[in-house]
């Protein structure tokens, strides 16, 4: 998923000089695309009832954040961009693996059929919840930190409209993630799924490790991915 973002990053910052792109205004085209992608991807995600399709359209919206960080041409935004690439890799991997475990154990893909499953598969849904909260941007999860830096970058370049779009996108994220979590833990499980067991330990280990990655770096004394993101951003901007 990140290959396109990486390719665009290299083209904008290495093939073309970023100052040239700003001078001719080409980065503004990417900014517009980023804003549309963030909102439209989230709207399409809300419309999906299949869990994997909802997660896929969510990824479309998340790529909008990465495009935004590229096109703002700000140190803070570029740090947020780099960090969000790491954050999204851990968050979305956790969500997709959790969805795969749910489908394997239940044979169900429709979100409306997940009611009460949080009590049958508590570890899987706990990990899903952590990753979902991170995607929404709830502190202290990694998703909050990347959005925070993107917002700072938008303010740094005098474009507060993108802070508003980040907030709207986060609210839309909540609209399609929280109902899954609430229904899973507080809904009534169907008779068909009353005896569904938790997935195997081999499946749980990577899911839980990825869920921990959504929070442990922000709580650690040193946030290594953020430091690497800062070094990379400074390098790409020529030490500015």
Please give the Cα distance from 149 to 213 (Å, whole number). 19
- What's the pLDDT tens digit per position in 59-103? 999 999 999 999 998 899 999 999 999 999 999 999 999 999 999
- Residue 6's pLDDT band (boundaries 50, 70, 90)? confident
- Residue 1: its pLDDT value, please? 76
Q: Calculate what percentage of the chain has a pLDDT beyond 70.
A: 99
The predicted model gives 109-117 an average pLDDT of 92
- Residue 236's pLDDT band (boundaries 50, 70, 90)? confident
- What's the pLDDT tens digit per position in 159-168? 999 999 999 9
Look at 115 and 14; give whichever has higher pLDDT: 115
Tell me the pLDDT of the chain averaged across its residues: 92
DSSP codes, 50-107: BHHHHHHHHHHHHHHHHHHHHHS--HHHHHHHHHHHHHHHHHHHHHHHHHHHHHHHH-
- For Cα atoms 214, 217, 222, give the angle at the middle one, nearest 5 degrees: 170
Among 34-48, 89-103, 115-129, 184-198, which stretch is predicted with the lowest mean pLDDT?
184-198
The predicted model gives 109-119 an average pLDDT of 92
The predicted model gives 196-215 an average pLDDT of 94
- What's the pLDDT tens digit per position in 120-145? 999 999 999 999 999 999 999 999 99
Report how far apart the first and last C-alpha atoms of the chain are (Å, whole number): 29
Stretch (H or E) spanning 20: helix 18-24
- Residue 240's pLDDT band (boundaries 50, 70, 90)? very low
What's the token pair of residue 142?
Answer: 């990694």
- Residue 133: its pLDDT value, please? 96
- Residue 20: its pLDDT value, please? 86
pLDDT over 70 at 195, yes or no: yes
- Residue 9's pLDDT band (boundaries 50, 70, 90)? confident
pLDDT over 70 at 239, yes or no: no
Measuring CA to CA, how many Å separate 221 from each of 66, 96, 130, 216?
A: 26, 29, 20, 10
81, with CB counted inside 10 A (0-12, 13-18, 19+), is: buried
Looking up tokens 């740090």 gives 79
């Amino acid at each position: 998923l990140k290959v396109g973002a990486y390719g665009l990053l290299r083209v904008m910052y290495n093939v073309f000089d970023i100052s040239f792109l700003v001078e001719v205004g080409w980065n503004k085209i990417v900014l517009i695309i980023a804003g549309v992608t963030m909102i439209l991807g989230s709207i399409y995600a809300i419309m999906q009832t299949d869990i994997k399709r909802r997660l896929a359209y969510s990824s479309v919206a998340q790529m909008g954040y990465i495009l935004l960080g590229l096109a703002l041409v700000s140190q803070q935004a570029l740090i947020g961009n780099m960090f969000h690439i790491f954050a999204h890799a851990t968050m979305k991997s956790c969500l997709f693996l959790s969805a795969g475990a749910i489908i394997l154990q239940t044979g169900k893909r429709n979100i409306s059929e997940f009611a009460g499953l949080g009590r049958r598969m508590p570890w899987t849904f706990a990990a899903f919840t952590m990753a979902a909260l991170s995607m929404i941007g709830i502190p202290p999860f990694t998703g909050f930190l990347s959005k925070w830096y993107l917002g700072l970058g938008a303010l740094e370049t005098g474009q507060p409209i993108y802070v508003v779009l980040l907030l709207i996108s986060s609210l839309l994220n909540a609209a399609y993630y929280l109902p899954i979590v609430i229904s899973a833990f507080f809904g009534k499980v169907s008779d068909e799924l009353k005896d569904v067991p938790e997935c195997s330990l081999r499946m749980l280990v990577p899911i839980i490790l990825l869920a921990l990655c959504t929070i442990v770096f922000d709580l650690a004394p040193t946030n290594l991915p953020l430091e690497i993101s800062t070094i990379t951003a400074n390098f790409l901007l020529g030490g500015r």
